Amino acid sequence: MDDRDREHLAVTRIALRPVGTPLPLGFLGLLVATAAFSCLQLGWVPADQHRQVALGALLFTVPVQFLAAVFGFLARDPVAGTGMGILAGTWATVGVVTLTSPAGASSAGLGVVLLCAAAALLVPTAAATGKLVAAAVIGLSALRFAVTGIAEITAAPDWRTAAGWCGLVLAVVALYAAVGFELEDVRRRTVLPLLRRGPGHAVRDDSVAAQLRGVAREAGVREQL
């Protein structure tokens, strides 16, 4: 390290801005969309109400999950940012296709998109090894989109029913995760088990110095992404 490098380090400062966890917001948006579409798929809501369900996803779920994605990256959590971004884009696609299609119609094209979205969600699921409840929500979302995609391609009632039940299970897990992360952030301690482990568990106990040890090598600070 030469004198110029030492001079640059001496005047360099990395500013971090604390933000609240965006996960509860994103998970609650997921709850609304997946539960509403499940009710439509299971026949609990008349098929001619599909446009109202689609508008619910477009006007509620997509904006809050997009916001959660932005703050996920700002909070230096690429799993939250990537997962919520994929979910927001997928629900936007489902909402627009449902809104512009006849009641009860199936779309093979939408099915292919959902299968691709399910595969994309496996990336943040695999990376979320430190927060197993969050990983479960993202993983179940992948399963929900995969089953729905098959239902759209085959137009089979049994697959549509299976997708509806998968969506309801996802809604319950998403609600649990939202409550757990919200309480943890507000009370500064774990209230409901979130199955944190490894790095995910260490963030609750490590000192500030320990958590900032590698910040100089994070995206947004290092020269190359």
Kindly list the distances between the CA atom of residue 55 and the CA atoms of 36, 100, 159, in Å, as whole numbers in the listed order. Answer: 11, 11, 24
Residue 216 lies in a domain: no
Q: Distance between CA atoms of 23 and 184, rounded to whole angstroms?
A: 11
* pLDDT-derived band at 11, boundaries 50, 70, 90: low
Q: What is the CATH number of the domain that holds 197?
A: 1.25.40.600
Residue 126 lies in a domain: yes
Per the DSSP assignment, residues forming a β-bridge with 196 are 131
Q: By residue range, what is the domain housing residue 120?
A: 20-208
Each residue of 50-86: pLDDT tens digit? 999 999 999 999 999 999 999 998 888 889 999 999 9
Residue 203 lies in a domain: yes
Q: Distance between CA atoms of 225 and 130, rounded to whole angstroms?
A: 23
Stronger pLDDT, 117 or 182, i.e. the higher one: 117
Domain count for the chain, please give it.
1
Altogether, the residues listed in the chain come to a count of: 225
Q: Which tokens belong to 203?
A: 């963030």
* pLDDT-derived band at 190, boundaries 50, 70, 90: confident
Q: pLDDT over 90 for what percent of the chain?
A: 63
Residues contacting residue 73 through CB under 8 Å, at least 6 positions apart: 80, 81
Each residue of 79-128: pLDDT tens digit? 999 999 999 999 999 999 999 999 988 999 999 999 999 999 999 999 98
pLDDT at residue 176 tops 80:
yes
Q: What is the pTM of this model?
A: 0.84
Per-residue pLDDT, 74:
87
Residue 181 lies in a domain: yes
Residue 114 lies in a domain: yes
Reported for 185-191, long-range contacts at CB under 8 A and 24+ positions apart, including other chains, are 185/20, 185/21, 185/24
Residue 3 lies in a domain: no
Residue 110 lies in a domain: yes
Q: List, as one string, the DSSP characters of 63-113.
A: HHHHHHHHHHHHTT-HHHHHHHHHHHHHHHHHHHHHHTS-TT---HHHHHH
| Mean per-residue pLDDT, 164-191 | 90
* pLDDT-derived band at 46, boundaries 50, 70, 90: very high
Residue 55 lies in a domain: yes
